[in-house]
Amino acid sequence: MNRPFFTWNLRLVLLLICALACTWPNLSSAQSVASLRRSAIVNAVASTRPSIVNIHGHKTVRSGSPYSDPGQRVKGMGTGIIIDPRGYILTNHHVVEGVRRINVSLFDGTATLARVIARDPVTDLAVIKIDLERRLPTIRIGTSRDLMVGEDVIVIGNAFGYENSVTRGIISALHRSVQVNDTQKYYDLIQADASINPGNSGGPLLNIAGEVVGINVAVRVGAQGIGFAIPIDKAMSVAAQLLNANRISGVWHGIISDTEKDTPEEGVATLSVQDGSPAAVAGLSRGDVITKVNGVTVHRSLDVERALIGTKPGQRVAVQITRSGKSMDLGVELTSSSQIRQATAVVSIDEEAWEKLGMRLVELTPTEMSEYKQEVEEKGTKSYKFDGGLRVSDVRSGSAAAEQGIRSGDVLVGLHKWKTLSFDNVSYILRESTITKDQEVTFYIVRSGETFLGKLPATWVR
């Protein structure tokens, strides 16, 4: 009598097993599909988005003089990357140029105002800062030195005002020079076919690992699939100069570190130590590898400068180095940046230029400024806009300047990465730059309305 009941129960169990067997592959398949969909690109985007910001603002654009043309107020947009958890952001100079109120929005929806910390029109890079009561996620920095044509890249930015837009493509070419307009020319750019639209400027060009390898800067008008980015190694070198402790905190350390270092390992080499500087007094020497400064692990020269933000003259900071394979701890007592001039001002800037560059320089009078500017305009040199320089009054016989053909009457308008509009500019280049003694620097001169360039050995570096 109990047998039918037992048979019925057995049938129920078998039916349940069959049902589970039918649904189990579907569950496994769904998980497998989700795993396949989560590609390297998805992971790269997900890990990077929180460290990318959208920038909005308004600027006044004029076609004539500010007296005759009141100008038109236009909306600007761009992108930036967080390079320090205290709110320091790297973007393009042209994104923030002329913008009085810079609005920044984060990936989590937080909106705030930013202020410009430093900018360099020549390289078209700028550092801005937002102030929030929390530490922010920073972007992972890669290297542009080993980029490969055909390599996958990703662009994230504020394209046409559509925040956090993502596009992808490949690297089409390297070392491109691009003339954007009459006053702006870029050198050594990365070319990619990922869509780099208006609003993407200042944002990251990422590799497949989610590391930034370039700063998006320009798109070829009228051509689809052609965009450009500044190599990240160059951008980090400029960022280190923009966040220089002397500029930001008014302190002097005297360390000139290797701005070209691009390996992920800890440490950056000391290329030189300025005479009489706090670093020299502390015992730091050329060739020492700096691994930590003020508690911040050092991977590149930018980290040295970041570590000193907020420090004050008289403050003693811990510097950890490796010398001949041995780890050492040093204490560097920072001094006021005004001590730089006191330690190095042995001769006048004019005499210094004569001694180190082999030429005497004089400032242009307003009349000369007008004449040189008219001469350049008459030549129709669209690639260069004359806005000043220092006139060469004499060239020392046998000097590198003489060998390069510089002569009296030429106007020195640029040296290395900087314009030479004043003696202070020249002083900065000769004393505070990261130029090494085995390096050749590019000089730019105006002669008869035309621009010429050449190379000078940096023999003034000790």
Per-residue DSSP letter, 64: S
Residue bearing tokens 């003034």? 460
Within 13 Å, how many C-alpha atoms sit on residue 410's CB side?
23
Residue with tokens 């990422």: 206
For the record, the structure tokens of 429 come out as 């280049």
Given 56, 84, 124, 416, which residue is catalytic?
124
Helices (H), 38-151: 40-48, 93-96
Grouping H, G, I as helix, E, B as strand and the rest as coil, residue 313 is: coil
Q: How many other β-carbons are positioned within 10 Å of the β-carbon of residue 262?
A: 18
CA distances from 77 to 359, 398, 446 (A): 44, 51, 35
Q: In this structure, is the dihedral angle defined by the CA atoms of residues 92, 97, 99 and 100, taken in order, positive or negative? A: positive
CA–CA dist 283, 270 (Å, integer): 12
Instruction: Give yes or no: 195 in active site.
Output: no
- For this structure, is 201 an active site residue? yes
Q: What tokens appear for 453 in the block?
A: 């360039």
From the candidates 56, 93, 94, 253, give the one annotated as an active-site residue.
94
What's the N-to-C CA distance of the chain in angstroms? 108
Q: Which of 229, 236, 91 lies closest to 154, judged by CA?
A: 229
Residues 293, 329: Cα–Cα separation, whole Å: 10
Q: Out of 51, 165, 201, 337, which one is annotated catalytic?
A: 201
At 425, give phi and psi (nearest 5°).
-60, -45
| Known catalytic residue at 94 | yes
Contacts of 451 (CB under 8 A, 6+ apart): 376, 381, 383, 384, 413, 444, 445
Going from the C-alpha of 314 to that of each of 48, 284, 308, the distances in angstroms are 38, 18, 13
Length reported for the chain:
462
Which residues partner with 418 through β-bridges? Answer: 415
Q: Six-digit token pair at 215?
A: 């700063």
Residue 50: DSSP 8-state: G
Task: Give catalytic residue positions.
Answer: 94, 124, 201
